[in-house]
Amino acid sequence: MLDKVKELREKTNAGVMNCKIALKEADDDIEKAIVILRKKGISLASKKSSRVAREGVIVSYIHMNDKIGVLLELNCETDFVARNEEFKKFAKELTMQIAAASPTYITKDEVTERDLARERDIIKEQNKNKPEHVLEKIVEGKLMSYYQDICLLEQPYIKDPKISIRDLLTEVISKIGENIVIKRFTRYQLGETA
């Protein structure tokens, strides 16, 4: 049992008691215990999301060809976490994501009605020969893809496309134990007009 607790701790960074409880729930199956811990981490992360995050860092990233730069403000609850290596690493990962994937917004809620209306019109025009009941489903599906293109939290993580940036944020919140908020970012590309 102690060997399994140790192995689970190494794989998840969870506390000893949490590992023991998860292993008990999973009948000593490590893979099931990992899933249990992740689910609990996600529920803990959602509870933490209502807490105020006023500390943090401003991080810059200049892509190796010096043609793309990113400034990011990432907030947390305490100065202690702001100095934490895991938090700083996450901030750097986000700047690289922004440089590579070029999002416009952080969340779907920020997308303007004007942008959504324009995108709906484009989708409808491209599919104008489809029946009306099919067209609405096409529009819904294409809008989900549109959100993945322009919203940072909806984008697939560049280092592991199976998870979204939202999932990555949730993982980091559950590991660090504080609310983390992506406050704002700016991406600069040489020669780009505003």
Question: Containing domain of residue 119, as a range?
Answer: 112-149
Tokens representing residue 114 in the block = 């004007």
Report the predicted TM-score, pTM, of the whole model to 2 decimal places.
0.70
Specify whether 100 is located in the same domain as 137: no
pLDDT digits (tens, 9 = 90+) for 100-159: 999 999 999 999 999 999 999 999 889 888 888 888 888 888 999 999 999 999 999 999
Residues 142 and 157 in one domain: no
In a domain, 194, yes or no: no
Give the CATH number of the domain where residue 100 resides. Answer: 3.30.479.20
**pLDDT on residue 10:** 67
Query: Is residue 145 situated within a structural domain?
Result: yes
Kindly report the average pLDDT of the chain as a whole number: 86
Q: Which comes out higher in pLDDT, residue 179 or 47?
A: 179
| Residue 98 located in a structural domain | yes
Whether residue 24 has pLDDT greater than 60: yes
**What DSSP string describes 126-165?**
HTTTS-HHHHHHHHHHHHHHHHHHHBGGGSEETTEEEEEH
> Same structural domain for residues 145 and 169?
no
Q: Are residues 44 and 116 in the same domain?
A: no
Please tell me whether residues 123 and 101 are part of one structural domain.
no
